[in-house]
Amino acid sequence: MSTFHDSASGSQPYKDPTPLPDNIPKVQELGATSAPLKSAAFFIGAYCKEYNEDFMLCKNESRGDPAHCLKEGRRVTRCATDLITKMRENCLEKFDAHWNCLELNNQEYFACRKPERALNKCMFDKLGLTKTIPGSPQGKTPIHEVASPVYTTVQR
Amino acid sequence: MPPPGGFEAVKYKRNLPFRGPSGLVILGAVTAVCAYGFYRVGKGNLEKRELQREKVWSRIHLVPLLLAEGDRDTYRRQQAALEREKEIMKDVKGWEPGKSVYNNARYRAAESIVVL
């Protein structure tokens, strides 16, 4: 006998176990949590710029259809995975220090400038990637390089 | 006759002890402190704007990645739902699985995610 189950009121969210159809190539999901992603965000933006822009243009063209941009989406994920792997190969300690700091500080960048600068320096030396914030005022020190900022944590 | 050593001096000067800095000095000091405070507030506001910009751009850089992952999952669920629909409605004649209820080619997300 079948009964009605409201999936919205279940104790567990409903998970559809069906895998992707076989005609779609498989890609390993990135699987990083929010703090490592936030730590790596500007490097993902710098390293995967073309793939990201391509994907977003495709999304704009498809008006929300998820089937339309699967190929571009796989490229985006592969590129991000590639970058995270490279970061872990080259700057593992600095990366770990920064995202652990973010994890402990409500994921605020301003609270973690010291590990961030170490990570930025390592990323520039090893991979040639720099953190740039688009749209920040010309001719001023970018916010992540200000020596004595007004906003800091209570405990230095 | 005067006492030996003479009379003591007559106290005729006003006795006004020093009672702290003058009003003008206090006013100036308060103005200076306030001016420095407002200078810091102004600097802090400019900095807050840049911090907000940094936060927003860190999220913008992550949008394609998260969207791509979500899209794959949505597509997988869509295909699973389509298969279920085909299986359930296979005996109904003239039923087109996955056909939109609207006479419009525009994509619409499914209203119900799963029917158990």
- Which chain A residue shows the shortest CA-CA distance from B44? A150
Q: How many CB pairs under 8 A join A and B?
A: 127
The answer to whether A67 contacts B75, with C-beta atoms less than 8 Å apart, is: yes
Q: Is A22 on the interface with B (CB under 8 A)?
A: no
Number of Cβ atoms within 10 Å of the Cβ of A66: 22
Task: Considering only the beta carbons, identify the residue of B47, B55, B68 that sits closest to A76.
Answer: B68
Q: Which of A101, A99, A86 is nearest to A34 (CA)?
A: A99
For residue B40, the 8-state DSSP code is H
pLDDT tens column, A100-129 = 999 999 999 999 999 999 999 999 999 999
Task: Considering only the beta carbons, identify the residue of B50, B62, B109 that sits closest to A41.
Answer: B62
pLDDT tens column, B38-89 = 999 999 999 999 999 999 999 999 999 999 999 998 899 889 888 988 999 9
Average pLDDT over residues A14-31: 85
Q: Is A92 on the interface with B (CB under 8 A)?
A: no
Pick from B40, B48, B49, B58 the residue to mutate for testing the A interface (most A CBs within 10 Å): B58
Give the distance from CA B91 to its chain's centroid.
Answer: 56
Which residue reads 């206090």 in tokens? B26
| Cβ–Cβ under 8 Å, residues A94 and A114 | no
Pick from A75, A76, A117 the residue to mutate for testing the B interface (most B CBs within 10 Å): A76
Q: Is B76 on the interface with A (CB under 8 A)?
A: yes
pLDDT tens column, B92-112 = 999 988 888 888 888 888 776
State residue A9's pLDDT score.
Answer: 66
Q: How far is A17 from chain B (nearest CA, A)?
A: 9
Q: How far is A89 from chain B (nearest CA, A)?
A: 21
Residue B3 — very low, low, confident or very high, per pLDDT cuts 50/70/90?
confident
State residue A1's pLDDT score.
Answer: 44
Structure tokens at A136: 């920040």
Q: Which helix (DSSP H) or strand (DSSP E) does residue B63 occupy? A: helix B23-88
Q: Which of A52, A34, A48, A36 is nearest to A91 (CA)?
A: A36
Kindly give, in sequence order, each residue whose CB lies less than 8 Å from that of residue B43, ignoring residues fewer than 6 positions away. Answer: A150
The answer to whether A64 contacts B109, with C-beta atoms less than 8 Å apart, is: yes
